[in-house]
Amino acid sequence: MTASNNKGSDHDQGGLYLAAYAQFLNTQPLSVHTRRAYLSRTRLFCTFLRSRPVSYGDPFASDFARDYAVRDFKTYLKTSRTARPASVNLSLAALDHFYAFIGLAKPQVSREELIQAAPQALSPDEQKHLLRILQTTASARDRAIATLLLYTGLRIGECLALNLEDVVIAERKGRVIVRSGKGNSYREVPLNSQTRQVLADWKDYRTGHFNSNDNGVMAFFLSRQGKRLTPRATDLRLRQLASKAGLPFSAHTLRHTCLTNLVRGGHDLVLVAEIAGHKRLETTRRYTLPTPEDRESAMQSLEVDY
């Protein structure tokens, strides 16, 4: 649909385009949430245009008028509607999509810079609480999986891809072998004493309850049916443990917690990247970013005792 297809006032054009766009959205491979958000943001933009005088041309036909209108709309969102940066950027993305439908180029409007923060990780107190909850967990398997993720930073898929031969446990040292991590990369991650103990407990249970050669399954972690666990089922089980502990975490949160602990413990970023399986050091540097708690602590430190 192009801007020259409709005639009439700018206000009428906005309504016509909006109605056509609503029908067009229903044909797009977007989630229901995204379609709903794009339509509501575009509708708000058209309402905004009707409330302001047209000073720079038709925002549905002129590149300059389009850019000025969207820039003013961005200011309106930030000031009159007190929208947060992420919400402003969603509105701009919606208008990019809307103008592409009209047949114009994307508005030349800068996005809001989002506050950069470290990935979500459990605090030291939350980690202590989790480990105490795990100690009382009846399932040796669940205890082993949660502890392994917390102390190795493995991705959940890497954890569940482990076979018996990939978990090497000795009295004083041990390691897990990730044979095909992200990007088909190989790495070995050492195991601390706590992790070695819970993995050994699970391995003893596994030996006593499953035949390693049943159905050719050599997976280290097995379901009750003796089959390799799926990431979805495992993450759901971890979330259930999180609910029991009263903590907001998933499998990925445990990975983030491990890597955060390493970085904040002063370990070299190259070493942490190797353990994490990161190909780019910039990915690992995210763990050096401040948390909301860091910012609060910094500002609190400014107080003067008088």
The catalytic residues are: 155, 182, 252, 255, 278, 287
Question: Cα–Cα distances in Å, from 89 out to 70, 245, 304?
Answer: 12, 36, 39
Report residue 248 as tokens.
Answer: 């907001």
Which pairs with CB-CB distance under 8 Å and at least 24 residues apart come from 161-167?
Answer: 162/219, 162/220, 162/221, 163/218, 163/219, 163/220, 164/212, 164/218, 164/219, 164/220, 165/218, 166/220, 167/199, 167/203, 167/220
Cβ–Cβ under 8 Å, residues 49 and 11: yes
Torsion sign (Cα): 211, 215, 221, 222: negative
- Report the distance separating Cα 172 and Cα 230, nearest Å: 31
Question: Dihedral through CA 289, CA 295, CA 298, CA 303, nearest 10?
Answer: 170
Long-range contacts of 174-178 (CB under 8 A, 24+ apart): 174/199, 176/148, 176/152, 178/154, 178/277
Q: Which residues contact 38 (CB under 8 A, 6 or more apart)?
A: 25, 30, 93, 94, 97, 98
What b/e string do you get for 243-254 counting C-beta neighbours within 10 Å, with b at 16 or more? eebebebbbebb
176 - beta bridge partners? Answer: 167, 189
